[in-house]
Structure 1
């Protein structure tokens, strides 16, 4: 579903304020308006910024690139959308916890994606679905899917969903499974092409990654490693490959350790950022 960007409260404040007799530095004023617009929305394209701020699109693009160079915004690799970075915390409270995706996770994803060539998805659990937050499909020569960011996938039929279930605390897992039973029915929860749910979760814990061999998408297989904030997973990093090109056991041998290592590095980066913020 296409998201509509929100106008920000700062517009009313701007219109009501009195301009200094010395005159405003127009480029600075516009740059701050652009940054405030980005902070009010979870990702904006240059055209959307231009509409909200009321400036030409080339001007918006130039200001966004300037803010990127200063470290205040970053553009996602899979879409032409700009988001605030951790640097915005030094200016205001506009930074949201979810923006770790762009600044912390994406660089690690891109590095691994260029190495293994198979596409990667970063997925998070939301409302009994797994939402794709970022992806390297656009840089993968082996990708068979495009436009993945923003899609929602089933929890029980995907490697990322299975990894999330396997590694969350026991009480949280039980609550999620109960909620899925109410929505899908017991048979849809307990039995899958890859085996009973209990077996799948036990096997996931043993492997250290969620997995999908059969079902959901007959063309592909996948494995997924958890990303932690503290003691619980907040996202999963999933590698997808064409099943006829690479057998499951071979994919595990070749890529599981690198996937787990990258997910662990993202977790470490999150812990470092949290520590730095707590010291401020």
Structure 2
């Protein structure tokens, strides 16, 4: 038996070890290779050919038409391997090879691959690794919120990574713009025209009430961070929040929550403000890079279409 038989085909790698054992016994595999087969299925190893196929799809997506030579140069994969994978992708309906166009290209079927994509905005993806790192270092949970109508909504949280979280879960929690730290951070730092519009949506029309709100938001801007309203529940905890800014736009707000029994406000500000500001800058930088990557991909495709 070839040594390659100790690595199962894709359909077997997805099967349970019990199924693999049964199939192997029926096929007459010897005991040593059978043990290797079970080890593979239980190891959680990746299927290299699948990763290579995605590399090819990513590269094909950069241009309208891509030659085998270009794919070889971009991926470093042997041409024979590329041909086999391209043939498989073609049989699946995602790639076509039209000689009249001089190379390979993706088909309209690739659009179906994104139909189930309902992930959060790029800013949340950019926030994820840095927020997790923050909580691992400081132990307290981070929440990232984005604006939706007249509230901010928590889109990402590291509660699961924190041993000290005051809450069991906050994902999709709606927070008030005027009383909650994450909301105040948005309202205080967004452009003036947007702030006025949001205050109108909140029915803050009475002159004294509106001026009180503007005064509070001014204090937040001068401080560079926001806290919850002292009357907001739960009063056993508090949140320090800051905006994630790109140019003059607030992409999201990010906050760290702690128990009041652990720190006074002054202690929490001294401990968290600097690293929280650094976190917000890293998130903004990551989001800017994501946007640049998307724009670059679109530019490459556009330039190629013009050239052809």
Place the TM-score, normalised by the shorter chain, in its bin.
0.5 to 0.7
In structure 2, what is the equivalent of residue 258 of structure 1? 275
**Whole-Å separation in 2 of the counterparts to 1:186 and 1:244:** 37
**Whole-Å separation in 1 of the counterparts to 2:231 and 2:223:** 19
Matched, 1:277 2:299: no
Kindly provide the CA deviation profile for residues 146-189 of structure 1, in whole angstroms up to 9, marking residues without a partner as x: 1211111111111111110111110000000011016xx75996
In structure 2, what is the equivalent of residue 222 of structure 1? 239
Larger RCO (CA within 8 A; separation ≥ 6): 2
In structure 2, what is the equivalent of residue 159 of structure 1? 181
Structure-2-length-normalised TM-score? 0.57
Shift in Å, 1:101: 4.8
Q: 1:249 to 1:190 in 2, by over 3 A?
A: farther
Q: 1:26 to 1:257 in 2, by over 3 A?
A: same
**Whole-Å separation in 2 of the counterparts to 1:114 and 1:97:** 24
Shift in Å, 1:250: 1.2
In structure 1, what is the equivalent of residue 39 of structure 2? none
2:151–2:174 Cα contact (<8 Å) kept: yes
SS at structure 1 position matched to 2:167: coil
User: Looking at CA atoms only, which structure, 1 or 2, has the larger radius of gyration?
Assistant: 2
In structure 2, what is the equivalent of residue 238 of structure 1? 255
In structure 2, what is the equivalent of residue 172 of structure 1? 194
The number of residues matched between the two structures is 203
Correspondence for 2:160 among 132, 138, 145: 138
Bigger helix fraction: 2
SS at structure 2 position matched to 1:132: strand
1:177–1:189 Cα contact (<8 Å) kept: no
In structure 1, what is the equivalent of residue 217 of structure 2? 201
Kindly provide the CA deviation profile for residues 15-48 of structure 1, in whole angstroms up to 9, marking residues without a partner as x: xxxxxxxxxx986xx9xxxxxxxxxxxxxxxxxx
Kindly provide the CA deviation profile for residues 89-130 of structure 1, in whole angstroms up to 9, marking residues without a partner as x: 878563678342553211010000111111111111102111
Q: 1:247 to 1:127 in 2, by over 3 A?
A: same
**Whole-Å separation in 2 of the counterparts to 1:102 and 1:226:** 13
1:159–1:224 Cα contact (<8 Å) kept: yes
1:156–1:189 Cα contact (<8 Å) kept: no
2:180–2:229 Cα contact (<8 Å) kept: no
**Whole-Å separation in 2 of the counterparts to 1:264 and 1:257:** 11
Gaps (5+ residues) in structure 2? Answer: 1-8, 15-43, 63-105, 298-308
The runs of 4+ residues in structure 1 deviating greater than 4 Å are: 69-72, 89-93, 185-191
1:213–1:222 Cα contact (<8 Å) kept: no
Gaps (5+ residues) in structure 1? Answer: 1-24, 31-61, 73-85
Kindly provide the CA deviation profile for residues 39-70 of structure 1, in whole angstroms up to 9, marking residues without a partner as x: xxxxxxxxxxxxxxxxxxxxxxx8xx879x95
Taking only aligned residues, the RMSD between alpha carbons, in angstroms, comes to 3.7
SS at structure 2 position matched to 1:181: coil
In structure 2, what is the equivalent of residue 212 of structure 1? 228
2:124–2:144 Cα contact (<8 Å) kept: no
SS at structure 2 position matched to 1:272: helix
Bigger shift: residues 221-230 or 259-268: 221-230
